[in-house]
Structure 1
Amino acid sequence: MYNVMIVDDEPAIREGLTTIMDWDALGFRVADTAGSGREALAKLEQAQPDLIIMDIRLPGMNGLDVIRKIQEEAAGTPHHFLILSGYADFEYARQAISIGADGYLLKPVDEDEMAEELQRIYRMLESRKAADGGHRASGDRRYSDYLEALLLKDYKDGEAVPESVPAELQWPVYQVIMLEIHFADADRMGKMAEAKEQLTTLCHERGYGFVFAAGGHTCILLRQSLKSMDQASRLLQEIRGTLSSCAAAVYAAAGWEAASLGQLKASCDAASRLLERRFLFRGDRVLLHSDWLALGQEELESSGSSFHESEYRILSRGFADRLYYALEVANKETVAQILQDMEKACLSHGSSELSVKEGFARILTLALNKFTAEREGSSSSFETADLIAEIYGQCSLPELTERVRLRLEQLIISLSAGSKETVMKQIVDFIDAHYGENLKLELLAETFNYNSSYLGKLFRNYTGEPFNLYLDKVRIGNAKRLLAEGRKVQWVAKHVGYANADYFHAKFKKYVGCPPSAYRSSNREKEGME
């Protein structure tokens, strides 16, 4: 697939040419457009066009000047030009051909005529590629062998490479791009060889550098390091497009920028460690040094946290309980916030893919099992096992988090459809159902997405009592019922939410007027008299 840049000062023509032609079928893709000659020159390095389709009359700098400027500044990179002109500009078009343009088309452009011109230029490009192929292949293999042999050496940080470096590898900077390539069929070795050949062709045509193997991965040694997220995104898109015929998925990570080939192994190692954590990020670009910093660590260990360590860290934050409470009150915003907090926890620990998936699966299983068990089949349409299976099928942590959020949101909608209960009514019902747990106003505020002070005021206005007083009365009321049934005092204290039996004794006496043991005895005597 060859890149095309369309240059015309009329937006309608740029848009029309971009859309009317079946570029893929002709072997091209529109890499970029420009509205002037100066804009075209500014975009040249980024777009890397093999063919420039350009109006001869452009504001500020005509097409002839643009061709000459490109030939001066990019003399080592062959470009093809197709000129667009009106009848009055025929002399300009003739001059353009004399200085290197491949042809011209009269406006308005006829679709069939343009297709013929594109096919002709495509054959020229393919012919040049075939002529270069034999010489290039032997040279590229030699450089790949050199780089792979270099990885076996043990150079100290910053040490110059003592061997004679080929002139083609003497660059100001180097950067390794390590690829993780997934293949759909069983012929992995054959597909890997095909992928390496396609990448070699891409690097040769774009002047990127050379392809080599390192630690079971295919790598590209760039002659210019990636400086921005946009560059990282464009490079991965180009690599994926190049490998689309043989690879099912491609991920990539960049190593450190190196000043000499003596640092090649260090750059490879950095790329490998970052690639191990690629699950933590969206796979839409090459991962960069800034992504290391996003993990909150200066260095990453080569092996990920174990499942047990990661799971313990996440569960110790109470995510399962928080998620259960948010589902219980059908609060989609709180569910989304909890999932974001889980994602941040995984990022802060640099967790491995397996650790993240097992941790998420454990948390969701605990929360959903408790949630569905209390509904006696009302949520039978929601299968926890299906969600867990989806978790293990996600390609990145952001995608995993978003998928879980959508599924839980669907669950909430399906259970709360038609409900018109007020938030305060929900809170009171929640207390009545969970009085035996460690309830705090702060927990309810987080669960219902309120400021705790503001919620306290709303609660008092609604119930006529402060939160703690209302909770105590609910607990003592249930304690009286259980004691009247003959339950033991210590068991009742724990069941209604008082971990300390002495504290329960004091609270009970305050509200009822007698100790819990006396209340239990008096009720048993009444039963005996009856």
Structure 2
Amino acid sequence: MIKVMLVDDEPFILEGLSVLIDWKEYDCMIVAKASNGEEALEYLKQGDVDLVITDIKMPVMTGIELIRTAREEGLSSAYFVILSGYNDFQYAQSAIKYEALDYLLKPVSADGLIEVIDKVKNKKRATQSGEVVNYENSGISDRPEQGTVLLKDELDGIIQGIEHNDRNKTNSSIDALFLKISEEGIALSEQAINVNKHYLIFRLLHLAVELDESINQEVVMMYISDNILMNGTEMGSILHLKQFAAEYARYLVNLRSTVSKGVLHDIEKELNVNYAQNITLKDFAAKYYVNSSYLGQLFRKQYGMSFREYLNSVRINKAASLLIKTDEKIGRIAESVGYHDTDYFIDKFIAIKGCTPSKYRKNGSEFSN
């Protein structure tokens, strides 16, 4: 039985990894979960672990610091696997000098986890049979073969163009990519082709997952993978990549439209119930896995006002209803709809309803008709 520890500061990632596969089916058991490297380190000092899957960037102690400390202090002989965000792609490879077994790019797939488990099993069998385990063949290397290079600037340009549906930006970045390969004499090996291709695939997948976490990641990834050509500089490959980039940009536009309608509908329903709570745009952005700036833009487009203005409108409308239907004091009504400063409540009420709460109550039948 392989004993596994999961380490990530995002609770939903920890839980997601724990249910992504049936660990028992692969002769594994999750023995611990930690939210940062320091917590993981304390467990390693007293617990028996075979495999540690850890995020890179975490508070208190990063994943790299965790691996380095565990190795330098001889705390554990466990195999370490890095969870890497896309912007940490190159940084993740530095973990190799501390004998990290492999890295997994987020969002992690079930196949990725299974492949890691198979590697651990092979390493354990080799160790038990007396063979020397060679970390240099673990899947990533700190000594890349000649010509292995990540063309990150050009690939990031393509990503940005697709994300913003900017065809000129996308096409110019694709031209720059192939120009750098052909004119600057970069002879990409098969390994280098895969590194660049995978970087582009997972960055594109991430754009879709950011918009809708419920999408079938495997299907989208296969679609991307089947339509990206990185192994040639001929005009056909350039045109093919440009065509695919345009199609994927349109796919993201449609996805945004579908997701935004659903998200705004859910937020609208929740605000009608929980309007009195201290709710912020960032809270909803985190809950629905949508960028807060993008969510703010959706509110302005849909309602013609900011999220804060919309929330005030909901609260004041609720207060107006209570003013007419009850005899509660104005201060109590203000607090019941989420305002702890009565003067501020009155200012907002006047701005939205055009009169004071007292006048609104006095002339309730007129305002309610």
Indicate whether the TM-score tops 0.5. no
TM-score (norm 1): 0.25
TM-score (norm 2): 0.33
* Structure number, greater radius of gyration: 1
Which structure dedicates a bigger proportion of its chain to helix? 2
